[in-house]
Amino acid sequence: MTEVPSNQRKPDPCSFVIFGVTGDLTHRLVIPALYNLAATDLLPDKFCVVGVARKGTSNGDLRDSLMKGLREFATRPVDDAIAKRLLECVTSIAADPREPSSFDEMREQLEKLEAARATGGSRLFYLATPPGAFAPISRELGRTGMLQQKNDAWRRLVIEKPFGTDLASAKALNDELLKIVDEHQIYRIDHYLGKETVQNILVLRFANGMFEPIWNRNHIDHVQITVDEKLGVGHRGSFYDSTGALRDMVPNHLFQLLSLVAMEPPARFDAHTVRSEKAEVLAAIQPQRESDALVNSVRGQYQGGKIGDTVIEDYCKTGDVKPGSTTETYVALKLAIDNWRWAGVPFYLRTGKALGIKRTEVAIKFKQAPFAMFSCTPVEALAENYLVIGVEPTEGIALQFNTKVPGPSIRIDGVEMKFRYKDYFKAEPSTGYETLIYDCMIGDNILFQRADSVEAGWQAVQPFLDAWKKAGGKGLERYKAGSEGPAGAEELLKRDGRSWRKLG
Protein backbone atom coordinates (compact mmCIF):
# COMPACT_ATOMS: atom_id res chain seq x y z
CA MET A 1 0.00 0.00 0.00
CA THR A 2 1.35 3.42 -0.98
CA GLU A 3 1.23 6.41 1.36
CA VAL A 4 0.12 9.34 -0.73
CA PRO A 5 2.97 11.87 -0.64
CA SER A 6 2.18 15.57 -0.81
CA ASN A 7 4.24 17.31 -3.45
CA GLN A 8 1.95 20.32 -3.39
CA ARG A 9 3.20 23.82 -2.78
CA LYS A 10 1.69 26.10 -0.17
CA PRO A 11 -0.68 28.71 -1.55
CA ASP A 12 0.42 32.34 -1.45
CA PRO A 13 -0.79 34.52 1.44
CA CYS A 14 -4.48 35.43 1.20
CA SER A 15 -7.66 36.01 3.11
CA PHE A 16 -10.51 33.54 2.91
CA VAL A 17 -13.82 35.32 3.28
CA ILE A 18 -16.83 33.09 3.92
CA PHE A 19 -20.33 34.44 3.41
CA GLY A 20 -22.87 32.26 5.19
CA VAL A 21 -20.42 31.43 7.96
CA THR A 22 -23.15 30.42 10.39
CA GLY A 23 -24.63 27.91 7.94
CA ASP A 24 -24.55 24.16 7.59
CA LEU A 25 -22.16 24.06 4.62
CA THR A 26 -19.50 26.08 6.44
CA HIS A 27 -19.69 23.90 9.55
CA ARG A 28 -20.07 20.57 7.77
CA LEU A 29 -17.60 20.94 4.91
CA VAL A 30 -15.69 24.20 4.56
CA ILE A 31 -14.11 24.36 8.03
CA PRO A 32 -13.37 20.60 8.20
CA ALA A 33 -11.70 20.94 4.76
CA LEU A 34 -9.65 23.94 5.92
CA TYR A 35 -8.71 21.91 8.98
CA ASN A 36 -7.50 19.03 6.79
CA LEU A 37 -5.45 21.48 4.72
CA ALA A 38 -3.98 22.93 7.93
CA ALA A 39 -3.16 19.42 9.16
CA THR A 40 -1.24 18.68 5.95
CA ASP A 41 0.48 22.08 6.02
CA LEU A 42 -1.28 23.28 2.88
CA LEU A 43 -2.64 26.60 4.12
CA PRO A 44 -0.74 29.80 3.36
CA ASP A 45 1.75 30.93 6.01
CA LYS A 46 0.05 34.30 6.14
CA PHE A 47 -3.65 33.65 6.21
CA CYS A 48 -6.89 34.89 7.69
CA VAL A 49 -10.44 33.60 7.63
CA VAL A 50 -13.22 36.15 7.71
CA GLY A 51 -16.66 34.86 8.64
CA VAL A 52 -19.42 37.06 7.30
CA ALA A 53 -23.01 36.83 8.46
CA ARG A 54 -25.92 39.24 8.21
CA LYS A 55 -26.03 39.57 11.97
CA GLY A 56 -22.66 40.04 13.60
CA THR A 57 -21.45 37.79 16.37
CA SER A 58 -18.32 37.98 18.55
CA ASN A 59 -15.12 36.31 17.35
CA GLY A 60 -15.30 34.05 20.42
CA ASP A 61 -18.85 32.84 19.70
CA LEU A 62 -18.10 32.24 16.05
CA ARG A 63 -14.93 30.30 16.83
CA ASP A 64 -16.79 28.19 19.43
CA SER A 65 -19.51 27.36 16.96
CA LEU A 66 -16.99 26.43 14.24
CA MET A 67 -15.05 24.29 16.72
CA LYS A 68 -18.23 22.45 17.65
CA GLY A 69 -18.91 21.82 13.96
CA LEU A 70 -15.35 20.64 13.44
CA ARG A 71 -15.59 18.12 16.27
CA GLU A 72 -18.81 16.79 14.76
CA PHE A 73 -17.83 16.71 11.09
CA ALA A 74 -14.03 16.30 11.00
CA THR A 75 -12.93 13.40 8.82
CA ARG A 76 -9.89 12.67 11.00
CA PRO A 77 -9.13 12.97 14.74
CA VAL A 78 -8.94 16.65 15.66
CA ASP A 79 -5.57 17.82 16.94
CA ASP A 80 -6.43 20.65 19.33
CA ALA A 81 -3.27 22.63 18.58
CA ILE A 82 -3.93 22.66 14.83
CA ALA A 83 -7.61 23.48 15.32
CA LYS A 84 -6.72 26.34 17.70
CA ARG A 85 -4.20 27.77 15.25
CA LEU A 86 -6.79 27.66 12.45
CA LEU A 87 -9.62 29.15 14.49
CA GLU A 88 -7.41 31.92 15.81
CA CYS A 89 -7.28 33.14 12.19
CA VAL A 90 -11.08 33.58 12.20
CA THR A 91 -12.61 37.05 12.51
CA SER A 92 -16.32 37.75 12.47
CA ILE A 93 -17.68 40.59 10.35
CA ALA A 94 -21.33 41.57 9.80
CA ALA A 95 -22.50 42.53 6.31
CA ASP A 96 -25.92 42.45 4.71
CA PRO A 97 -26.47 43.26 1.04
CA ARG A 98 -29.78 44.88 2.00
CA GLU A 99 -27.74 47.47 3.90
CA PRO A 100 -25.07 48.59 1.44
CA SER A 101 -23.23 50.69 4.03
CA SER A 102 -22.37 47.45 5.86
CA PHE A 103 -20.23 46.46 2.85
CA ASP A 104 -18.35 49.75 3.00
CA GLU A 105 -17.65 49.05 6.66
CA MET A 106 -16.69 45.51 5.83
CA ARG A 107 -14.17 46.73 3.29
CA GLU A 108 -12.48 48.93 5.91
CA GLN A 109 -12.37 46.12 8.47
CA LEU A 110 -11.02 43.68 5.91
CA GLU A 111 -8.25 46.02 4.80
CA LYS A 112 -7.17 46.59 8.41
CA LEU A 113 -7.15 42.87 9.08
CA GLU A 114 -5.16 42.15 5.93
CA ALA A 115 -2.57 44.78 6.90
CA ALA A 116 -2.28 43.27 10.40
CA ARG A 117 -1.91 39.75 9.04
CA ALA A 118 0.32 40.81 6.13
CA THR A 119 -1.73 38.79 3.65
CA GLY A 120 -0.87 41.13 0.78
CA GLY A 121 -4.49 41.75 -0.26
CA SER A 122 -5.23 38.55 -2.22
CA ARG A 123 -8.76 37.43 -1.39
CA LEU A 124 -11.11 34.61 -1.96
CA PHE A 125 -14.80 35.27 -1.37
CA TYR A 126 -16.62 32.00 -0.73
CA LEU A 127 -20.40 32.32 -1.10
CA ALA A 128 -21.72 29.49 1.07
CA THR A 129 -25.15 31.13 1.12
CA PRO A 130 -28.58 30.33 -0.27
CA PRO A 131 -28.51 30.92 -4.05
CA GLY A 132 -30.72 34.01 -3.85
CA ALA A 133 -27.83 35.82 -2.18
CA PHE A 134 -25.18 35.12 -4.88
CA ALA A 135 -26.00 38.13 -7.06
CA PRO A 136 -26.74 40.70 -4.31
CA ILE A 137 -23.51 39.89 -2.43
CA SER A 138 -21.42 39.91 -5.63
CA ARG A 139 -22.92 43.27 -6.61
CA GLU A 140 -21.94 44.81 -3.28
CA LEU A 141 -18.46 43.29 -3.43
CA GLY A 142 -18.15 44.80 -6.90
CA ARG A 143 -19.51 48.21 -5.93
CA THR A 144 -17.13 48.56 -2.99
CA GLY A 145 -14.16 47.52 -5.13
CA MET A 146 -13.42 44.50 -2.95
CA LEU A 147 -13.28 42.26 -6.04
CA GLN A 148 -10.98 44.48 -8.04
CA GLN A 149 -7.57 42.88 -8.69
CA LYS A 150 -4.60 45.09 -7.90
CA ASN A 151 -0.95 44.60 -8.77
CA ASP A 152 -0.17 41.10 -7.54
CA ALA A 153 -3.26 40.82 -5.34
CA TRP A 154 -5.82 38.49 -6.88
CA ARG A 155 -9.53 38.48 -6.06
CA ARG A 156 -11.66 35.38 -6.60
CA LEU A 157 -15.32 34.54 -6.20
CA VAL A 158 -16.39 31.02 -5.26
CA ILE A 159 -20.03 30.21 -6.02
CA GLU A 160 -21.76 27.18 -4.58
CA LYS A 161 -24.48 25.12 -6.18
CA PRO A 162 -27.26 25.50 -7.34
CA PHE A 163 -26.20 27.83 -10.15
CA GLY A 164 -29.60 28.88 -11.49
CA THR A 165 -32.83 26.93 -11.57
CA ASP A 166 -33.15 26.74 -15.36
CA LEU A 167 -31.40 27.97 -18.49
CA ALA A 168 -32.73 31.53 -18.27
CA SER A 169 -31.81 32.04 -14.61
CA ALA A 170 -28.34 30.51 -15.07
CA LYS A 171 -27.71 32.83 -18.01
CA ALA A 172 -28.96 35.82 -16.02
CA LEU A 173 -26.65 34.94 -13.11
CA ASN A 174 -23.68 34.50 -15.43
CA ASP A 175 -24.42 37.85 -17.10
CA GLU A 176 -24.66 39.55 -13.74
CA LEU A 177 -21.42 38.06 -12.40
CA LEU A 178 -19.50 38.73 -15.59
CA LYS A 179 -20.34 42.42 -15.29
CA ILE A 180 -18.50 42.39 -11.96
CA VAL A 181 -15.56 40.02 -12.48
CA ASP A 182 -13.81 38.19 -15.31
CA GLU A 183 -14.57 34.55 -15.97
CA HIS A 184 -11.16 33.45 -14.66
CA GLN A 185 -11.99 34.99 -11.25
CA ILE A 186 -15.14 32.85 -10.87
CA TYR A 187 -14.96 29.38 -9.30
CA ARG A 188 -18.33 27.61 -9.69
CA ILE A 189 -18.24 24.61 -7.37
CA ASP A 190 -19.55 21.16 -8.14
CA HIS A 191 -18.44 18.95 -5.28
CA TYR A 192 -18.40 15.88 -7.57
CA LEU A 193 -15.20 17.27 -9.07
CA GLY A 194 -13.60 17.06 -5.62
CA LYS A 195 -14.03 13.28 -5.66
CA GLU A 196 -10.86 11.32 -6.47
CA THR A 197 -12.65 8.74 -8.58
CA VAL A 198 -14.33 11.42 -10.65
CA GLN A 199 -11.01 13.15 -11.33
CA ASN A 200 -9.56 9.73 -12.11
CA ILE A 201 -11.85 9.35 -15.14
CA LEU A 202 -9.52 11.70 -17.03
CA VAL A 203 -6.49 9.68 -16.03
CA LEU A 204 -8.13 6.35 -16.79
CA ARG A 205 -9.09 7.49 -20.27
CA PHE A 206 -6.08 9.54 -21.26
CA ALA A 207 -3.09 8.16 -19.35
CA ASN A 208 -3.66 4.61 -20.61
CA GLY A 209 -3.15 3.50 -24.17
CA MET A 210 -5.70 0.71 -24.24
CA PHE A 211 -9.00 2.49 -23.63
CA GLU A 212 -9.04 5.37 -26.10
CA PRO A 213 -9.03 3.21 -29.28
CA ILE A 214 -12.20 1.42 -28.15
CA TRP A 215 -13.90 4.42 -26.49
CA ASN A 216 -16.43 5.08 -29.23
CA ARG A 217 -19.57 3.93 -31.03
CA ASN A 218 -17.73 1.06 -32.75
CA HIS A 219 -17.13 -0.72 -29.46
CA ILE A 220 -19.39 0.80 -26.83
CA ASP A 221 -23.02 -0.24 -26.82
CA HIS A 222 -24.25 2.29 -24.27
CA VAL A 223 -23.32 4.12 -21.07
CA GLN A 224 -25.17 4.04 -17.74
CA ILE A 225 -24.71 6.71 -15.09
CA THR A 226 -26.28 5.95 -11.72
CA VAL A 227 -26.44 8.05 -8.57
CA ASP A 228 -28.72 6.22 -6.15
CA GLU A 229 -29.18 7.61 -2.68
CA LYS A 230 -30.65 6.00 0.41
CA LEU A 231 -31.46 9.22 2.20
CA GLY A 232 -34.85 10.80 1.80
CA VAL A 233 -35.32 14.53 1.62
CA GLY A 234 -35.18 14.94 5.41
CA HIS A 235 -35.13 18.52 6.64
CA ARG A 236 -34.57 20.02 3.16
CA GLY A 237 -38.25 19.84 2.18
CA SER A 238 -38.64 23.49 1.26
CA PHE A 239 -35.54 23.61 -0.99
CA TYR A 240 -36.17 20.20 -2.49
CA ASP A 241 -39.84 20.67 -3.26
CA SER A 242 -39.09 23.66 -5.47
CA THR A 243 -36.07 21.89 -7.00
CA GLY A 244 -36.66 18.18 -7.62
CA ALA A 245 -34.23 15.44 -8.57
CA LEU A 246 -33.56 16.66 -12.11
CA ARG A 247 -32.43 20.18 -11.17
CA ASP A 248 -30.71 19.03 -7.98
CA MET A 249 -28.50 16.38 -9.58
CA VAL A 250 -28.49 16.19 -13.37
CA PRO A 251 -27.18 19.41 -14.95
CA ASN A 252 -24.42 19.45 -12.35
CA HIS A 253 -23.26 16.17 -10.80
CA LEU A 254 -24.45 13.66 -13.41
CA PHE A 255 -23.31 15.89 -16.26
CA GLN A 256 -19.86 16.17 -14.69
CA LEU A 257 -19.63 12.38 -14.90
CA LEU A 258 -21.07 12.36 -18.41
CA SER A 259 -18.75 15.06 -19.72
CA LEU A 260 -15.63 13.39 -18.36
CA VAL A 261 -16.65 10.07 -19.86
CA ALA A 262 -17.70 11.48 -23.22
CA MET A 263 -15.36 14.43 -23.89
CA GLU A 264 -12.74 14.40 -26.63
CA PRO A 265 -9.10 14.09 -25.49
CA PRO A 266 -7.88 17.55 -24.52
CA ALA A 267 -4.61 18.54 -26.19
CA ARG A 268 -3.22 19.79 -22.88
CA PHE A 269 -4.01 19.29 -19.22
CA ASP A 270 -4.89 22.88 -18.50
CA ALA A 271 -8.08 24.58 -17.37
CA HIS A 272 -8.89 26.24 -20.67
CA THR A 273 -8.46 23.15 -22.84
CA VAL A 274 -10.07 20.64 -20.50
CA ARG A 275 -13.05 22.88 -19.78
CA SER A 276 -13.52 23.65 -23.46
CA GLU A 277 -13.76 19.95 -24.31
CA LYS A 278 -16.23 19.38 -21.47
CA ALA A 279 -18.41 22.27 -22.59
CA GLU A 280 -18.25 21.04 -26.19
CA VAL A 281 -19.61 17.59 -25.39
CA LEU A 282 -22.41 18.96 -23.21
CA ALA A 283 -23.39 21.28 -26.01
CA ALA A 284 -23.56 18.23 -28.29
CA ILE A 285 -26.32 16.57 -26.22
CA GLN A 286 -29.18 16.20 -28.66
CA PRO A 287 -32.04 18.66 -28.08
CA GLN A 288 -35.33 16.89 -27.38
CA ARG A 289 -38.71 17.88 -28.76
CA GLU A 290 -41.46 18.00 -26.14
CA SER A 291 -42.92 14.63 -27.13
CA ASP A 292 -39.45 13.03 -27.17
CA ALA A 293 -38.63 14.50 -23.77
CA LEU A 294 -41.64 12.71 -22.30
CA VAL A 295 -40.75 9.41 -23.96
CA ASN A 296 -37.09 9.66 -22.96
CA SER A 297 -37.64 10.48 -19.30
CA VAL A 298 -39.10 8.84 -16.22
CA ARG A 299 -40.15 10.75 -13.11
CA GLY A 300 -40.83 9.16 -9.76
CA GLN A 301 -41.73 10.20 -6.24
CA TYR A 302 -41.16 8.02 -3.20
CA GLN A 303 -43.85 6.75 -0.92
CA GLY A 304 -43.32 5.60 2.65
CA GLY A 305 -41.25 2.49 3.26
CA LYS A 306 -38.32 1.07 5.15
CA ILE A 307 -34.62 1.26 4.40
CA GLY A 308 -32.89 -1.19 6.71
CA ASP A 309 -34.38 -0.33 10.09
CA THR A 310 -35.15 3.27 9.16
CA VAL A 311 -38.74 4.13 8.43
CA ILE A 312 -39.09 6.72 5.67
CA GLU A 313 -42.34 8.61 5.44
CA ASP A 314 -44.11 9.53 2.24
CA TYR A 315 -42.33 12.33 0.38
CA CYS A 316 -45.55 14.36 0.46
CA LYS A 317 -45.66 14.16 4.25
CA THR A 318 -42.14 15.56 4.65
CA GLY A 319 -41.98 18.89 6.51
CA ASP A 320 -42.24 21.91 4.17
CA VAL A 321 -43.32 19.79 1.20
CA LYS A 322 -46.62 20.90 -0.34
CA PRO A 323 -49.38 18.31 0.15
CA GLY A 324 -50.07 16.72 -3.23
CA SER A 325 -46.70 17.91 -4.53
CA THR A 326 -45.72 16.61 -7.98
CA THR A 327 -41.99 17.21 -7.46
CA GLU A 328 -39.92 14.25 -8.61
CA THR A 329 -37.51 12.55 -6.21
CA TYR A 330 -36.29 10.20 -8.95
CA VAL A 331 -35.40 10.77 -12.56
CA ALA A 332 -34.14 8.54 -15.36
CA LEU A 333 -33.22 9.93 -18.78
CA LYS A 334 -32.11 8.64 -22.12
CA LEU A 335 -29.81 11.08 -23.89
CA ALA A 336 -27.93 11.04 -27.17
CA ILE A 337 -24.74 12.90 -28.02
CA ASP A 338 -24.63 14.25 -31.53
CA ASN A 339 -21.04 13.79 -32.56
CA TRP A 340 -18.90 11.39 -34.53
CA ARG A 341 -17.69 9.45 -31.49
CA TRP A 342 -21.06 8.83 -29.88
CA ALA A 343 -23.66 8.79 -32.65
CA GLY A 344 -26.10 5.96 -31.89
CA VAL A 345 -24.77 5.29 -28.37
CA PRO A 346 -27.45 6.01 -25.75
CA PHE A 347 -26.46 7.53 -22.41
CA TYR A 348 -28.89 6.40 -19.70
CA LEU A 349 -28.87 8.47 -16.52
CA ARG A 350 -30.73 7.82 -13.29
CA THR A 351 -30.73 9.29 -9.82
CA GLY A 352 -33.13 9.18 -6.92
CA LYS A 353 -33.67 9.50 -3.20
CA ALA A 354 -34.89 6.94 -0.64
CA LEU A 355 -33.67 3.96 -2.66
CA GLY A 356 -32.58 0.60 -1.28
CA ILE A 357 -28.85 1.21 -1.78
CA LYS A 358 -26.36 4.05 -2.01
CA ARG A 359 -24.45 3.72 -5.25
CA THR A 360 -22.71 6.11 -7.62
CA GLU A 361 -21.16 4.60 -10.71
CA VAL A 362 -20.58 4.91 -14.41
CA ALA A 363 -20.96 1.65 -16.30
CA ILE A 364 -19.63 1.44 -19.85
CA LYS A 365 -21.27 -1.46 -21.63
CA PHE A 366 -19.23 -2.84 -24.52
CA LYS A 367 -20.76 -4.45 -27.56
CA GLN A 368 -21.47 -8.13 -27.20
CA ALA A 369 -19.04 -10.62 -28.80
CA PRO A 370 -20.65 -12.70 -31.59
CA PHE A 371 -22.12 -15.84 -30.10
CA ALA A 372 -21.70 -17.86 -33.33
CA MET A 373 -18.53 -19.69 -32.22
CA PHE A 374 -20.28 -21.12 -29.17
CA SER A 375 -23.56 -22.04 -30.84
CA CYS A 376 -22.72 -25.79 -30.94
CA THR A 377 -21.52 -25.90 -27.33
CA PRO A 378 -23.41 -26.16 -24.02
CA VAL A 379 -22.84 -22.41 -23.56
CA GLU A 380 -26.22 -20.72 -23.52
CA ALA A 381 -25.27 -17.07 -23.21
CA LEU A 382 -22.30 -14.81 -22.74
CA ALA A 383 -22.13 -12.45 -19.77
CA GLU A 384 -22.10 -8.75 -20.53
CA ASN A 385 -18.84 -6.83 -20.79
CA TYR A 386 -18.83 -3.78 -18.55
CA LEU A 387 -16.15 -1.38 -17.43
CA VAL A 388 -17.48 0.08 -14.18
CA ILE A 389 -16.12 3.24 -12.62
CA GLY A 390 -17.21 3.11 -8.98
CA VAL A 391 -17.51 6.38 -7.09
CA GLU A 392 -19.52 5.17 -4.09
CA PRO A 393 -19.55 3.10 -1.95
CA THR A 394 -16.57 1.38 -3.60
CA GLU A 395 -14.04 3.74 -5.08
CA GLY A 396 -12.41 1.86 -7.91
CA ILE A 397 -12.68 0.31 -11.32
CA ALA A 398 -13.99 -3.09 -12.30
CA LEU A 399 -13.86 -4.92 -15.61
CA GLN A 400 -16.36 -7.67 -16.29
CA PHE A 401 -15.53 -10.30 -18.84
CA ASN A 402 -16.20 -13.93 -19.74
CA THR A 403 -13.95 -16.72 -18.68
CA LYS A 404 -13.88 -20.48 -19.03
CA VAL A 405 -15.10 -22.41 -16.04
CA PRO A 406 -12.44 -25.07 -15.21
CA GLY A 407 -13.45 -28.55 -16.31
CA PRO A 408 -13.50 -30.86 -19.32
CA SER A 409 -16.49 -29.32 -21.10
CA ILE A 410 -16.73 -25.76 -22.36
CA ARG A 411 -18.60 -23.67 -19.87
CA ILE A 412 -18.34 -19.91 -19.64
CA ASP A 413 -19.05 -17.55 -16.77
CA GLY A 414 -18.78 -13.82 -16.20
CA VAL A 415 -16.05 -12.71 -13.76
CA GLU A 416 -14.85 -9.37 -12.49
CA MET A 417 -11.35 -7.90 -12.25
CA LYS A 418 -11.33 -5.20 -9.59
CA PHE A 419 -9.15 -2.30 -8.61
CA ARG A 420 -10.08 -0.66 -5.32
CA TYR A 421 -8.42 2.58 -4.28
CA LYS A 422 -8.18 1.52 -0.67
CA ASP A 423 -6.18 -1.60 -1.57
CA TYR A 424 -3.45 0.45 -3.25
CA PHE A 425 -3.36 3.88 -1.67
CA LYS A 426 -3.50 4.92 1.92
CA ALA A 427 -5.14 8.31 1.84
CA GLU A 428 -6.64 10.08 4.85
CA PRO A 429 -10.44 10.33 4.62
CA SER A 430 -11.39 13.79 3.39
CA THR A 431 -14.47 15.93 2.84
CA GLY A 432 -13.83 16.19 -0.92
CA TYR A 433 -13.60 19.96 -0.57
CA GLU A 434 -9.87 20.11 0.23
CA THR A 435 -8.73 19.88 -3.38
CA LEU A 436 -11.35 22.38 -4.49
CA ILE A 437 -10.47 24.96 -1.82
CA TYR A 438 -6.75 24.44 -2.35
CA ASP A 439 -7.19 24.91 -6.11
CA CYS A 440 -9.12 28.16 -5.54
CA MET A 441 -6.19 29.42 -3.47
CA ILE A 442 -3.55 28.52 -6.05
CA GLY A 443 -5.69 29.80 -8.94
CA ASP A 444 -6.25 26.52 -10.78
CA ASN A 445 -9.82 26.42 -12.09
CA ILE A 446 -9.64 23.13 -13.99
CA LEU A 447 -12.06 21.53 -11.48
CA PHE A 448 -14.63 24.32 -11.66
CA GLN A 449 -17.48 24.90 -14.03
CA ARG A 450 -17.16 27.56 -16.68
CA ALA A 451 -20.16 29.69 -17.72
CA ASP A 452 -20.53 27.89 -21.07
CA SER A 453 -20.70 24.40 -19.58
CA VAL A 454 -23.19 25.46 -16.90
CA GLU A 455 -25.41 26.87 -19.63
CA ALA A 456 -24.92 23.85 -21.89
CA GLY A 457 -26.01 21.64 -18.97
CA TRP A 458 -29.20 23.62 -18.41
CA GLN A 459 -29.83 23.74 -22.15
CA ALA A 460 -29.83 19.93 -22.24
CA VAL A 461 -32.28 19.51 -19.35
CA GLN A 462 -34.56 22.44 -20.19
CA PRO A 463 -36.78 20.41 -22.60
CA PHE A 464 -37.51 17.94 -19.79
CA LEU A 465 -38.37 20.73 -17.36
CA ASP A 466 -40.66 22.32 -19.92
CA ALA A 467 -42.38 19.09 -20.93
CA TRP A 468 -42.96 18.05 -17.30
CA LYS A 469 -44.31 21.47 -16.39
CA LYS A 470 -46.91 21.14 -19.11
CA ALA A 471 -47.75 17.56 -18.14
CA GLY A 472 -48.21 18.45 -14.43
CA GLY A 473 -48.61 15.33 -12.32
CA LYS A 474 -49.37 13.17 -15.39
CA GLY A 475 -46.62 10.61 -15.82
CA LEU A 476 -45.24 10.93 -12.30
CA GLU A 477 -44.76 7.38 -10.99
CA ARG A 478 -44.68 6.38 -7.32
CA TYR A 479 -42.08 4.05 -5.87
CA LYS A 480 -41.68 2.60 -2.43
CA ALA A 481 -38.87 3.94 -0.25
CA GLY A 482 -36.20 1.23 -0.08
CA SER A 483 -37.00 -0.11 -3.55
CA GLU A 484 -34.98 0.23 -6.78
CA GLY A 485 -37.09 3.14 -8.00
CA PRO A 486 -40.07 3.40 -10.37
CA ALA A 487 -40.87 0.57 -12.76
CA GLY A 488 -40.68 2.99 -15.70
CA ALA A 489 -36.90 3.25 -15.26
CA GLU A 490 -36.53 -0.45 -16.15
CA GLU A 491 -38.93 0.02 -19.03
CA LEU A 492 -36.83 2.88 -20.44
CA LEU A 493 -34.00 0.44 -21.17
CA LYS A 494 -36.12 -2.64 -21.76
CA ARG A 495 -37.76 -1.12 -24.80
CA ASP A 496 -34.24 -0.74 -26.30
CA GLY A 497 -33.50 -4.41 -25.46
CA ARG A 498 -31.22 -3.39 -22.59
CA SER A 499 -31.28 -3.40 -18.80
CA TRP A 500 -29.60 -1.55 -15.94
CA ARG A 501 -26.53 -3.24 -14.56
CA LYS A 502 -27.41 -5.28 -11.51
CA LEU A 503 -25.32 -5.01 -8.38
CA GLY A 504 -22.35 -7.37 -8.68
Shortest Å distance, C-beta 351 to ligand BG6: 9
Q: Does 161 bind ligand BG6 (CB under 6 A)?
A: yes
In the complex with ligand BG6, which residue's Cβ is closer, 259 or 360?
Answer: 360
Decide if 27 is catalytic. Answer: no
Shortest Å distance, C-beta 103 to ligand BG6: 29
In the complex with ligand BG6, which residue's Cβ is closer, 107 or 191?
Answer: 191
d(CA 250, CA 125): 26
Q: How far apart are the first and last CA of the chain?
A: 25
CA quadruple 74, 76, 79, 83: dihedral sign: negative
In the complex with ligand BG6, which residue's Cβ is closer, 161 or 341?
Answer: 161
Q: Does 434 bind ligand BG6 (CB under 6 A)?
A: no
Q: Does 229 bind ligand BG6 (CB under 6 A)?
A: yes
Q: What is the rounded radius of gyration, in angstroms, for the C-alpha atoms of the chain?
A: 24
Residue 332 and residue 298 in contact, taking contact as beta carbons nearer than 8 Å: yes
Q: Does 455 bind ligand BG6 (CB under 6 A)?
A: no
Q: Does 241 bind ligand BG6 (CB under 6 A)?
A: no
Shortest Å distance, C-beta 66 to ligand BG6: 22
Quote the Cα angle for 448-161-10, to 5°: 40
d(CA 36, CA 73): 11
Neighbours of 378 (CB within 10 A): 9
Residue 462 and residue 166 in contact, taking contact as beta carbons nearer than 8 Å: yes
In sequence order, the β-bridge partners of residue 101 are: none
SS3 17: strand
Cα of 260 vs its chain's centroid, Å: 12
- x-marked contacts with ligand BG6 along 180-219 as a string, rule CB under 6 A: ----------------------------------------
Point out the residue whose Cβ comes nearest to ligand BG6: 248
Closest CA relative to residue 450, chosen from 261, 202, 259, 225: 259
For residue 395, count CB atoms less than 10 angstroms from its CB and return exposed for 0-12, middle for 13-18, buried for 19 or more: buried
Q: Applying CB under 6 A, what is the total number of residues that bind ligand BG6?
A: 5
Shortest Å distance, C-beta 493 to ligand BG6: 22
Shortest Å distance, C-beta 330 to ligand BG6: 12
Neighbours of 488 (CB within 10 A): 18
For residue 134, CA distances in Å to 242, 427, 444 come to 18, 34, 22
In the complex with ligand BG6, which residue's Cβ is closer, 248 or 455?
Answer: 248
Shortest Å distance, C-beta 473 to ligand BG6: 22
Among 129, 360, 431, 453, binds ligand BG6 (CB under 6 A): 360
For residue 82, count CB atoms less than 10 angstroms from its CB and return exposed for 0-12, middle for 13-18, buried for 19 or more: middle
In the complex with ligand BG6, which residue's Cβ is closer, 239 or 401?
Answer: 239
d(CA 414, CA 382): 7
Residue 252 and residue 192 in contact, taking contact as beta carbons nearer than 8 Å: yes
d(CA 96, CA 54): 5
Shortest Å distance, C-beta 201 to ligand BG6: 15
Site residues for ligand BG6, window 242-261 (CB under 6 A)? 248
In the complex with ligand BG6, which residue's Cβ is closer, 229 or 455?
Answer: 229
Select which of 27, 191, 222, 253 is catalytic: 253
Site residues for ligand BG6, window 73-102 (CB under 6 A)? none
In the complex with ligand BG6, which residue's Cβ is closer, 229 or 277?
Answer: 229
In sequence order, the β-bridge partners of residue 413 are: 403
- Contact footprint for ligand BG6 (CB under 6 A): 161, 227, 229, 248, 360
Task: Report, as residue numbers or ranges, the catalytic residues.
Answer: 253
